A and B are shown apart, each in its own frame.
Chain A
Amino acid sequence: MIEKGRISAMQMAILMYPAIIATGVLIVPSLTAENAGRDLWISPIIGSSIGFLTVYLAYKLHQYYPGQTVIQYSEEILGKPLGKAIGFLFLFLYLHLNGVIVREYAEFVIGVFLLNTPMQVIYGTIIIVCAFAVRGGLEVVARTALIFVPVVTFLIFVLIVLLINDLDPTNMLPVFEKGVTPALKGSIAPQAWFSEFFVMSFLLPYLVDQENGLKWGMTTAIFVMVTLSMTNLVALFLFGDFVDSILYPVMSAARYVSVAEFFEHLESVVMALWVAGAFVKICVFYYALSLGTAQWLKLSEYKAVVLPFGFLIIIFARWSGDNLADLKDFLGTPAPWYLLTFQVALPILLIIIAFIKKRRA
């Protein structure tokens, strides 16, 4: 086996949580608000159904083929040529997705803080530390996440607490003004994020306590739902109807914080700690990509492909869009269908075939 490290199901949960919300809390509120308007906080709750489904799919497939990742069992399910093709599609998806994530990260950092810094520097620095972590193996990524995630989560909650004074709950009324349709439409973007739970299939084979995989996966999905819904609510309470015109509502919310007229303008601190979350997210996908490639090519270890993929990710990040508007357009319209096809429809197909095959055997 290429990966010798083992993590616990709880560590997996701690890896998966920032792997979904890191970019989620940043962009999802404004993406949902475009369609859902005042009901934007309901959208993540609807969207979470996809999260639960994906976790279940990943777990079920893993139960059928224990100790294997999607790259390996797709070959067993569909036979060598077709399975390899599917494997390639998954790897390409994760390469592209990784590029998009890095781009989101860089657009955010440059757009809000380092206005004059070349984007390549931002790509480069994060990719170097991520490559460093991914080369260390799954255990290292998981341990790093264990240090950062409590801090990042704590930060989100502190931020909300500090904002309580400025929150106006009446902004959410009336609920379901135009029926359920806007909330349903708005849930498409969170669904894309929730479908990213399928990356779990690269972590499940390396759990010490396999039996807890489903439990912790579902727990993470619930936490992600609560977090996304809550940040959406806070954004709504704070900005009311303007929320859809604000690019990064959470970041803008941080600007409102003022405690004792001394702790003001905390957005830099929020950014700094958010970087840690983004780091974990990039690491998880980067790891899945590197490990999957090594398995796809039947290499004896994956460390050799980590750095080359770093360059590829930077290139894909550049290709992800011409500018932020372009990127946001991609995330809002084609991305959900693109991600759902690969991470939900394809696994459903795999599981049906696997089920039939098991039946016959």
Chain B
Amino acid sequence: MIRRFTQKMKKSNQNFKEETVKALNEKEEQPKELSIDLKQNEEVIHAIYDNSFDIVIRPFSASDGTKGLMIYIDGLCNTEEINENVLTPLMKDAELTTNNIDTIIEQHLTISEATKVHTFNELIEEVSSGHPIILFDGNATGCSLSVEQFEMRSVDEPEAEQVVRGPRDGFIEPLIVNTALLRLRIKSPRLKIKTMKIGIQSRTNVAIAYIEEVADSTLIEEAENRLKRIEVDAVLESGNIEEMIEDHPYSPFPQILNTERTDVASSYLLEGHVVILVDGSPMALVAPTTFYSLMQSAEDYYQRFLISTTIRWLRYLFLVIALTLPSLYVAALTYHHEMVPTALMISIATGREQIPFPAMVEAFLMEVIFEVLREAGLRLPKQIGPAVSIVGGLIIGEAAVTAGIVSAPMVIVVAVTGVSSFAIPRYNAGISIRMLRFPLLFLAGMLGLLGIMVGLIGIIVHLSSIRSFGVPYLAPMAPANFSDMKDVMMRVPKWAQNTRPRLTGESNKNRQSPQQKPSPERGGES
């Protein structure tokens, strides 16, 4: 019965899908091939681009007298270059013949890249990417010119992933700049970057980058297949792609890492991961991702290893605090008084004397207020931000304590928890942890420490049951791989990072020559 129902649902889904795709494609039902007759081509182009004021359709005559037509989008191309290197030679050169596009490209157009177009679909694609098209009467082949130029911000430091020591360049919106930034870091021709277009309306360029013979070929295939399955009208940000290709859509944990940093993306490429870049988004996606990679920051690898290892352990501690501190506080106050040292218990009890709420309600209240402050602070214009944090943080906190609505220790607990959650280097992982705090709070209120434990067991069971592109999320801790723990339990020095992680770099295991440990004795040795 249920199976029949789901089958029916699937069938109607299928129909619906076909219909939408058809409807979306309908506008593109144009005569496919370009025609020899320029007049006819012009009419079709006018029909396609009616009511589009930014489309420039410019007729001209070539020096041999043939009629020509140039189509481009205003603002997407460098008009100076068109004037100097395209229109001037075409209209002035004496020995020009328009019946062969190849000779025109070879002999007359003084621009670096030009390709031929044969169909209207190609023409539309080229024009939308900022490539002007020239057509000649009597020739069914057009020519697309790579003279695109559009406004973009400069490559600057990513705001969400700042480091004290390390490179300052981050990805920006245009895909072509981002792939170039990757190439700058990894110059080997083994770095492959494939692209495909996703989005029926947006036709967004999506690039998959990987290093050949380091990344597993099945992983690349899997990534490509998942991307090919996407049938949406538009891809506006890499988040759109992430949601369509992740393994467990209902999991609260991010299974694909996103980064704005080129060095981070490159380091993942070198470990055999696949990086997905989306045109128009400065956020690169890295797959597969494990839980522990969400706990790593780029700087860990640039500071000296002892410091990095210590900081990494501090981060694990803060992760636990961010997740459990309010619930531990509630559990200790409600069920396990004996756990708290007597002197501390007395001072907490004095502080809580006039508080009307049970500890759980108090904690819940403060946590929600904190989340609101965080969210509000994020969206506010820069000028108002500090005002809100002062009003919210100081006045509400202080006033609430003096008014006897919340106790001072609770404010401290909430503050420590909030700050700890920001010590998690990945913003989206921090959010997941902060959200999971609330169910734990309820469990602590109902069952004390046992409740927290049951909740934590639940979270860990979930974490061990999910995978990201075939890699267990808790790898390399569970399933355990002692060699890979060198980058989880600690950050081993560069000279000891001899092998790539087993689950992503198995095919090309050794990443550097062994025994490179420096020492004074080795100083002058060649």
Contacts and interface: CB of A to CB of B under 8 A. Distances in A.
B478 A126 contact: no
Nearest to B338: A265
Interface in B407-462: 447-454, 457-458, 460-462
Interface stretch (A19-27, A109-117, A170-178, A231-239): A109-117
A114 B447 contact: yes
A165 interface: no
A132 B460 CA distance: 11
Contacts of A276: 453, 457
B464 A143 contact: yes
B16 interface: no
A296 B42 CA distance: 75
Given A11-B479, A144-B464, A275-B450, A262 B341 contact: yes
A55 B18 CA distance: 59
A268 B298 CA distance: 38
Interface in B479-508: 479-480
A122 B175 CA distance: 55
A121 B448 CA distance: 13
A306 interface: no
B478 A271 contact: no
Given A129-B454, A142-B479, A143-B479, A271 B461 contact: no
B465 interface: yes
Given A113-B449, A136-B465, A268-B339, A144 B479 contact: no
A312 interface: no
A275 B455 CA distance: 11
A41 interface: no
Given A113-B335, A132-B458, A275-B453, A146 B465 contact: no
Given A147-B474, A275-B453, A269 B447 contact: no
B288 interface: no
Task: Label chain A's interface by main secondary structure.
Answer: helix
Q: Which of B452, B458, B478 has the most CB of A within 10 A?
A: B478
Task: Label chain B's interface by main secondary structure.
Answer: helix
B478 A146 contact: yes
A102 interface: no
Interface in A294-313: none
Nearest to B473: A143
A234 to B, nearest CB: 21
B450 A271 contact: yes
A272 B450 contact: yes
Interface in B137-162: none
Contacts of A109: 450
Given A11-B479, A146-B480, A147-B478, A269 B339 contact: yes
Given A117-B447, A133-B461, A264-B341, A125 B478 contact: no
B186 interface: no
Given A11-B479, A143-B464, 17 more contacts: A10-B480, A113-B335, A114-B335, A121-B447, A129-B454, A133-B465, A140-B464, A144-B457, A144-B461, A147-B460, A147-B474, A262-B341, A268-B336, A268-B338, A271-B449, A275-B450, A275-B453
Q: Which 5 A-B pairs have the closest CB atoms?
A: A143-B464, A143-B478, A146-B478, A136-B465, A265-B338
11 contacts: A113-B336, A125-B450, A128-B458, A133-B457, A136-B461, A142-B478, A144-B460, A144-B478, A147-B464, A268-B338, A279-B457
